[in-house]
Amino acid sequence: GSKADPCQKYACELQVCLQKNNYQEDKCQETIKRLVKCCLVWKEESFKVCQGIEYDGKVKSAEDNEPENNEII
């Protein structure tokens, strides 16, 4: 059988965050960072969740090219 994806809960948190915020990724940076960190640790095990993740800390998204340290209010 297939094991649970270790990063599944972070992916779920991100879905919830995005839905609450009308899919504005900038509102969910902390959640994204947690998911990416999980994916870096577990990329061998995390087959489902981590396939859409870019390891520079951004979820795949067309117009993302702002500097890393913009203040999160």
pTM more than 0.75: no
CB count, 10 Å around CB of 50?
23
d(CA 20, CA 56): 24
Q: What is the structure's pLDDT at 60?
A: 54
Assign 1 a pLDDT band (cuts: 50, 70, 90). low
Higher-scoring residue by pLDDT: 59, 23: 23
Q: Tokens 């947690």 — which residue? A: 34
Tell me what percent of the chain is helix, strand and coil, each rounded to the nearest 5: 50, 5, 45
At 60, the amino acid letter reads K
Q: How high is the pLDDT of residue 53?
A: 67
Q: Are residues 40 and 29 in contact, defined by beta-carbon separation less than 8 angstroms?
A: no
